[in-house]
A = this chain, B = another copy of it.
Amino acid sequence: MTGQARIRIRALPQLSRDDSPFLVLTPKENAELARLAEVLEFEKGTTVTVHGQPANFLFLVAEGVAESDRILPDGSRQVVAFYWPGDVCGLAANGLYMNSAHTLTRCKFYRFKSEIIGNVFAANGIEYSFLLKAIHDLRSAQRQVVAMGRLGVTRRLAAFLADCADHETGFDQKQQVLTLPMTRQDIADHIGASTEVVTRAFSELQANGLLRRLTPRQLWLSPARMKVFAGLGDDLEPAAGE
């Protein structure tokens, strides 16, 4: 079966100086991983994962090219990434696929049960923490890409404020008051806009009743309505609350 397949995970190391574009596993590791994989071939144009469906599998591209995308409520589409040989696709949040993935050419994949990560890491705690943290940050960055690519400034600001409100620091759950630690310039440079436009976006959100500026840095707001307005946090939350 898949026994002798040579599995390479495409990755540039972070901390070592050993900068080969592929990280090649030792034969032993390779065999260990291959044992857990199924090999699949897909025609061009096949859908591999669907946004919001249970994420039971991880896919490693062996041959061909695939893409993963996200369709927003307004119908616009953001291609989050292209997957070349050695890339891993099937990123999940809360057990559901973040994006839909499609093949652009005929493709060969290694498919793993998602639990593989948990199993491989089962014994250790700190490593797993670091991996989960990296994956979490990756998800954040991908959401940011979608926001930057397909949302207007006002929605980008709404998404940003909703993110801020997810942090215990600075958001008073009782009063529904968010205290911003950063300037308008910082926000502008984060969401890719000018300070003037950020101010106007604040005004617009206030006009729509989504927030009230108590002071420039103190905002009353409803995170839930903010998320809905941004149109990003849609259906991947398991329950509505936090």
Seen from chain A, the residues whose Cβ lies within 8 Å of a Cβ on chain B are 9-17, 19, 21, 23, 25-26, 29, 32-33, 55, 64-65, 67, 69, 77-79, 81-82, 84-85, 88, 91-95, 104-105, 114-115, 117-118, 120-121, 124-127, 129-142, 144-145, 148-150, 164, 166-170, 181-182, 186, 189-192, 238, 242
Output the nearest chain B residue to A79 by Cβ-Cβ distance: B190
Closest beta carbon of chain B to A29's beta carbon, Å:
4
Contact B126 A29 (CB under 8 A): yes
Contact A11 B129 (CB under 8 A): yes
- Taking CB atoms, residues of chain B closer than 8 Å to A164 are 82
Partner of A139, one of B12, B93, B192: B12
Please judge, given known A-B contacts A78-B189, A125-B25, A144-B145, whether A132 and B65 are in contact too, CB under 8 Å: no
Contact B144 A14 (CB under 8 A): no
Contact A136 B11 (CB under 8 A): yes
Complex Cα–Cα for A67 and B33 (A): 38
Contact A17 B94 (CB under 8 A): yes
Complex Cα–Cα for A118 and B149 (A): 35
Complex Cα–Cα for A158 and B170 (A): 39
| Secondary structure of the A contact surface, majority rule | mixed
Closest beta carbon of chain B to A90's beta carbon, Å:
10
Please judge, given known A-B contacts A148-B148, A167-B84, A186-B104, whether A93 and B12 are in contact too, CB under 8 Å: yes
- Taking CB atoms, residues of chain B closer than 8 Å to A126 are 25, 29, 32-33, 120
Contact B169 A85 (CB under 8 A): yes
Please judge, given known A-B contacts A84-B169, A137-B138, A144-B145, whether A117 and B15 are in contact too, CB under 8 Å: yes
* 30 residue pairs A–B, Cβ–Cβ below 8 Å: A9-B132, A11-B136, A13-B136, A14-B91, A14-B92, A14-B132, A14-B135, A14-B136, A16-B118, A17-B94, A17-B95, A19-B94, A25-B126, A32-B126, A65-B182, A67-B182, A78-B192, A82-B182, A84-B170, A88-B133, A104-B181, A117-B130, A120-B126, A120-B127, A130-B131, A131-B134, A141-B142, A145-B145, A149-B191, A150-B192
